[in-house]
Amino acid sequence: MKISVLMENTPYAEGFAYEHGLSLYIETEKHRILFDTGPSDRFLCNAERLGIDIGGVDVAVLSHGHYDHGGGLPAFLKANAKAPVYLSQYAFDPCFAEEGRFIGIQPELAGHPRMRLVGESLTLDDELTLCACNERPRPHAMDAYGLCVMRGNRMIPDDFRHEQYLLIREGGRRVLISGCSHKGVLNIMDWFAPDVLIGGFHFMMVDPNGAERAVLDEAARGLLPFATQYFTCHCTGLAQYDDLKRQMGERLSYLAAGQQITL
C-alpha cells in the first residue's frame, strides 16, 4: 500500500502546496482512492507534481463535512469523471465554528449524482469498509472545541455524527484512515485496534504547556499499549505532535504535503 499526502498544513519539501486541510491518495492492490480533498483545488497541484493521475481514482471518500476536508470536491468532480464519492448521510449538516463562521461543505453538492450517502457502515468489497461508529459508546470524552452544528433551528455542539472512517484490509493487515478523529482517537482505537492508524488527532487546541497538557499525556498512555503504528498530521498540531512524539518515540510519525510512504 502506498500513501501520498496531497494536502496538509505543512510542506514535506520546497515547492509543494500546503494549506490547512487534508487530502490523501491511497494505492492498494485493488483500488486508487482519494481520501478527502483539502479545502480547495490545490491538492491537484501536488498530485501533478507527484505524477498522480486523479482521473484514475476509482473510489473517493469524504471523512466528514468540514470544508478543510471537502472544499476541493468540485475540483475533484471536474478532474475525475467516474469515481463515486462516499460520504456520511449527515455530511451536509450545516457546520459552524464557534464564532458562527460556516465551515461545512457546499450544500449544492448534496444532489450531485456521484454522491453516495453512507449510514452506520458500508462494506465496498473485501478490502474497503466505511464505518461511522455512531452507535458505539464513547467512553473517552472528546471536547468539540467550539465546533457546532445546526439541527432544526438550534445551534448545538457538534457530536460529529457526520464523521466516518475508512478501514483497509490488505496483506493480512488492517489500516484505518481517519480525517480528524473528532470522536476521540482513544475511542477509535478501542473500536478498531488497527495495525496502522493514519489521520489527525484533533489536539491543535490543546495547550501543551498549560493545564490541558494532561489531555496529551492521557492520549500517549492510551495509544502506546496497542500494537499499532501511528501516522498523524493536520489537526493534531505541531507543538502537540512534538509532545506526543517525545512520549511515543518511533511509534508516531508525522505526514506532510508531498510526502509518500509505503506500508
For the stretch 154-165, pLDDT in tens is 999 999 999 999
- Residue 196 β-bridge partners: 175, 229
pLDDT value of residue 216: 96
Distance CA 133, CA 106 (A): 24
- Residue 50 β-bridge partners: none
Over residues 224-247, mean pLDDT: 97
Res 152 pLDDT > 90: no
Res 98 pLDDT > 90: no
Which residues lie below 8 Å from residue 1, measured CB to CB, with a gap of 6+? 26, 27, 28, 29, 168, 170, 171, 175, 262, 263
- Confirm if 8 and 236 have CB atoms less than 8 A apart: no
Distance CA 152, CA 231 (A): 37
pLDDT value of residue 229: 98
Res 238 pLDDT > 90: yes
Q: Is the dihedral of CA 96, 97, 99, 102 positive or negative?
A: negative
Res 10 pLDDT > 90: yes
pLDDT value of residue 211: 84
Residue 116 grid cell: 453516495
- Confirm if 130 and 117 have CB atoms less than 8 A apart: no
Q: Give the domain range for residue 212.
A: 2-262
With pLDDT > 70 as the criterion, what percentage of the chain qualifies? Answer: 100
Q: Is 147 helix (H, G, I), strand (E, B) or coil?
A: coil
Give residue 263's pLDDT band: very low, low, confident or very high (50, 70, 90). very high
**CATH number of the domain that residue 44 is part of:** 3.60.15.10
Over residues 234-258, mean pLDDT: 97
Computed over every residue of the chain, the mean pLDDT equals: 97
Domain count, the chain: 1
- Confirm if 194 and 174 have CB atoms less than 8 A apart: yes
Give residue 205's pLDDT band: very low, low, confident or very high (50, 70, 90). very high
The runs of H, that is alpha helices, within 138-258 are 185-192, 213-223, 238-248
